[in-house]
Amino acid sequence: MTPAAVSCPAVLVAAPSSGQGKTTVASALARLHARAGRRVRAFKCGPDFLDPHWLTLATGQPVHNLDLWMTGEDDARQRLHEAARESDLIVVEGVMGLFDGEPSAADLAQRLGLRVLAVIDASAMAGTFGALAFGLQHFRPGMPWAGVLANRVASERHAQMLEQALQAGPGDAAASSWLGAVMRDARFSLPERHLGLTVAAELPDAMARLDAAADALADTLLGRMDTADLARWTTAFAPPAQPIDTPPLLAGRTVAVARDAAFCFIYPANLDVLQAMGARLVYFSPLADEPLPACDAVWLPGGYPELHATTLAQGAQCRASLAAHVAAGRPLWAECGGMMALFDELVDQAEQTHAGWGLLPGRVVMQKRLAALGPQQLDLPAGSLRGHTFHYSRTETPLVPAAQTLAVRGGAVGPGEAVYRHGPVGASYFHAWFASAPAVAASLFLPEPA
């Protein structure tokens, strides 16, 4: 019997474009209600690894990704259904602009009934604010709507001008969608670097920044919403028609996972899938030069090896234990940053060359421009594993790719990332969402058939 739908207030925090303050507002909203004792779960629309770190800090709960293509609608429905059973509020942070991408945050909102809270950086506008808010609400018919919040506002007078611009729009809906203004304040700015926001754990004042943002939000209509007000955002979340089954393909196997500031691009959902398949997970820190724990397979996830290349090069104990693991013929799967560390050399953005771990021949070179971005799919006999790619480096290697992912954009399919095989080592820039094809994910951590 299919479980019944579960109702819970939920909102999708969106914007006209990237850089408007979605992460700050979504995290502040989650933090504000978590401080009030409410059970808050947060999700991130799209494949991003970095924004979820801030949402996790705000809620104290794991943050999963929702994407109608990469994770799939059934996966999204199941996660939201489970969250609704134990939450007083669900906050979903959008991706890019509301209508950007295929599928977009707007697609997710309409498919799952999430009300849209539009965050607009109003720092350089007045009357146009009303037109922009009206367009976001009405560009597509039937958009579930929560309201609009002005961000980075200069003064109370500026806020009044923005609210008046909204009221000048056609119909009563425009006036009723005003949820207030957040003033510009450096105390809760979130720093960025080449792949996105700085990871929250790297900033000693990260929680203070979130609390300052939550305090600022508390002065708005949005921030003053109580339990009764939140009930207006209630959505019924139905589970998928067929429960998602995960076969125990890794039963009895131990998988060692690198996890530290250099290797921090880990979907919590991927860890859940490995455990659901029966794997026992153990963790180690290459940055701390920890030797590899006893294990059957290794996962080196993505992250920032280029920012820690000197330290990683000096980690003789970790490097030696990885080499012994590979020499024994045990599987190692490395994705993006994990792969970068495996080459003979890593050249950073300052053009300094650092010794790598020497488990793949050649070198990886950082560059100023983005090298690849977008959804990817890896087709293997066991199925199609979905994911994405996002990197600023290139490889220079004599290795011939053993396979290649497919880049999927707007229904068009083209060549994607190389997948290298070198003995028991598998490596690619491809970031996988393991739940999209558990059998394929399991094969990454199993010895290749003789």
Q: Which residues are catalytic?
A: 336
Nearest to 75 by CA among 108, 110, 97, 51: 108
User: How many distinct helices (H) and strands (E) make up the chain?
Assistant: 14, 24
Nearest to 148 by CA among 181, 108, 126, 112: 181
The HSE-up count of residue 221 (CA atoms within 13 Å, CB side) is: 15
CA distance 266 to 250: 19
The secondary element (H helix, E strand) that includes residue 396 is strand 393-396
Q: Which amino acid is at 366?
A: M
Composition of the chain by helix, strand, coil, percent to 5: 30, 30, 35
Write out the E strands in 214-352.
Answer: 234-237, 254-258, 280-284, 297-300, 332-335, 343-347
CA distance 93 to 105: 9
Token digits of residue 409: 């954009």
Pairing of strands 383-391, 372-380: antiparallel
Chain-centroid distance of CA 70 in Å reads: 11
Q: Are 60 and 71 spatial neighbours (Cβ–Cβ below 8 Å)?
A: no
Going by C-beta distance under 8 Å and a sequence separation of 6 or more, which residues neighbour residue 200? 53, 54, 56, 57, 206
Q: In what order do the strands lie in the sheet with 360-366?
A: 353-355, 343-347, 360-366, 393-396
Neighbours of 228 (CB within 10 A): 7
Q: Which amino acid is at 47?
A: P
Length of the chain: 450
